[in-house]
Amino acid sequence: MKYFRYLFLPGLLLAALSARAQTNTIYYNGQLPLYMPDGYNGSISLLVSGADHDTLGINGHGVCRVFLSLEHEYIGDLMVTLTSPGGQSIPLIGPIGFFGGTDFSTWDVAFTRCADVAQPEPGYSHTWSNEQGWGLNGVFSGSYYPYQGCFENLTGPVNGAWTLTITDGLALDAGALNGFGIEFCNSAGATGMGCQANAGTLTHSDIYYCQGGNQPPPQPPAYTNISQAPPADAYDYTYAFGRASDDVLMGYEAHADLSTLDTGTYRIYGVSYPEDADSLLPIPDGVLTLSQIRNSLNSSIPPFCGDVSFSSIKAIVRPPAQDTILYASTCNGVPVYFFGIHYYNTGTYTRTISRVIANFLLHWCYSRVSR
């Protein structure tokens, strides 16, 4: 196991963000460092809003620079891509390949427009490439042209989700993303925030409810090193539910207790969103479906920071259980065996079995043995 450290260098990234942060530089303010285990394939989004000029490529409006601070034991593992709200992608870091280890190396770098002058580390190409033999124990800065494409080619809106996607395509090594920011040219008024909402995967089996009963909450959502849980002190979690037949949103329930609903079959989904942002959750209107909410949150211009799980729990609500009365008799001292217990004495016994109450009466009978 290689020793791995988190290191944030207050160099080029911090200086650039401070120098141009007046109106048009936005940095990711989610939880960092973002640990990238071996095989990581994930993304983070910077939600931009309020840009006075919301069209890229018109009158000089666009992306001037992208700032990244990262470290990785094998930079050749990584492909890092920036995707605009319009769905266009610019690969910043690549290609993936066996180009030599980079243990304890860090990069505090900027990616610039092709029309500007790149200022790379001495001896390195103006255009980024993982093939350049970055080596071990390096501390790298400078500015570079993206691995492929130019920021000038981006069109569409400024406002929306700018997504940084990181793909680890080779085995064995890990890393961390320590910083991410975007400098917009001539886009005064633009502000942004990082979104780490992640509803996880619901793994609980089908739940059966009795109307008016009490049902414990389902198992918490499952996360992995690749799909990590958002910070618990910054994000809330609830459950959205709808009819299984049409997926229409019916409401939210923090503990997924549907025992107050009419009998029927429902679907329960997990919802992750920023703390104290309940007012942002869509209001049920009898038409809006859970799939529509999920798709809008995953679009290039999401209505708010949130995530709805793809997985769901099937929920069946049944009428209140009625007591079941069973009669049993025992003869010649032979006990009656009922759900794990032997009964020897006459009487009325009440047992709760899988939330269903059963009463049964035990009677003695007499038999005569002839000789």
Domain extent listing, the chain: 12-195, 207-318, 324-365
Structure confidence at residue 174 (pLDDT): 94
DSSP state for residue 262 in the 8-state scheme: P
Does residue 90 register a pLDDT over 50? yes
Task: Please report, to the nearest 10 degrees, the dihedral formed by the alpha carbons of residues 117, 176, 79, 161 taken in order.
Answer: -80
3 state SS of 51? coil
Does residue 327 register a pLDDT over 80? no
| Closest to 166 measured CA to CA, from 186, 180, 183 | 180
User: Predicted confidence band at 323 (pLDDT cuts at 50, 70, 90)?
Assistant: low
DSSP state for residue 17 in the 8-state scheme: H
Does residue 17 register a pLDDT over 50? no
Does residue 340 register a pLDDT over 80? no
Does residue 134 register a pLDDT over 50? yes
Mean pLDDT of 225-253: 91
140 or 43, which is more confident: 140
How far apart CA 299 and CA 291 sit, in angstroms, is 12
Asked whether the beta carbons of 321 and 208 are under 8 A apart, the reply is: no
| Closest to 26 measured CA to CA, from 5, 43, 50, 9 | 50
Tell me phi and psi for residue 345, to 5 degrees. Answer: -105, 150
Per-residue burial over 95-108, b if 16 or more Cβ lie within 10 Å, else e, is ebeebebbbbbbbb
319 or 29, which is more confident: 319
Looking at every residue in the chain, the average pLDDT score rounds to: 84
Asked whether the beta carbons of 79 and 95 are under 8 A apart, the reply is: yes
What letter represents residue 139's amino acid? V
- Pull the structure tokens for residue 316: 């069946």
User: Predicted confidence band at 27 (pLDDT cuts at 50, 70, 90)?
Assistant: confident
| Closest to 182 measured CA to CA, from 83, 278, 303, 268 | 83
How far apart CA 23 and CA 186 sit, in angstroms, is 9
DSSP state for residue 120 in the 8-state scheme: -
Specify the residue for token string 């939330």.
355
Phi and psi based region of residue 160 (left: phi greater than 0; alpha: psi -120 to 50; beta: remaining): left
Structure confidence at residue 352 (pLDDT): 65
Pairing of strands 41-49, 78-83: unpaired
3 state SS of 130? helix
Structure confidence at residue 23 (pLDDT): 39
Structure confidence at residue 322 (pLDDT): 67
Does residue 175 register a pLDDT over 90? yes
Residue 241, exposed/middle/buried by CB under 10 A (0-12, 13-18, 19+)?
buried
User: Predicted confidence band at 3 (pLDDT cuts at 50, 70, 90)?
Assistant: very low
Structure confidence at residue 22 (pLDDT): 37
| This prediction's pTM | 0.67
Flag the least confident range among 11-20, 74-83, 274-283, 327-336.
11-20
Architecture of the domain delimited by 12-195: Sandwich (2.60)
Structure confidence at residue 69 (pLDDT): 93
